[in-house]
Amino acid sequence: MGLFSSNNKNRFPWEEVTSTSQLEEILNGTGCFLFFKHSKRCGISIMALNNFENKWDKNLKCDLYFIDLLKHRDVSNLLAEKTNVQHQSPQVIVLNKNEVIYHASHGDISPNQIKNLISNP
């Protein structure tokens, strides 16, 4: 593994979204959903993912979904379409009760801001 590799995905409670039908099913739910769009070839994306995982409060009640952009660009495109949030990478999109309550990319991804939004709806 190189300098920008991430093994954290293996021990972090991500559920990988691998199909558009899986995404549709998730979006039909009504809870809190966080999507992390990630490119394993991008050093900035790897750093953003590591930063997010290191600062995320695992006690928060929010389902965590991971989208590998190299394998599942169709899933990412559908999420952008369904949420009306322009695609970026890396990117986090948070929905609560089917409403986008947060989205950010690159260095603007803030686990603390997300925590505040989820804890104080």
Contact 9, 37 (CB under 8 A): no
From 57-61, 82-86, 102-106, the region with the lowest mean pLDDT:
57-61
| Residue range 20-32: mean pLDDT, rounded | 95
Q: The whole model's pTM is what? A: 0.88
Number of C-beta neighbours around residue 49 at 10 A: 26
Model confidence at 93: pLDDT above 70? yes
Domain ranges for the chain = 8-119
Q: Which CATH class is domain 8-119?
A: alpha beta
Torsion region of 20: left, alpha or beta (phi above 0 gives left; psi -120 to 50 gives alpha): alpha
pLDDT confidence bin for 121, thresholds 50/70/90: low
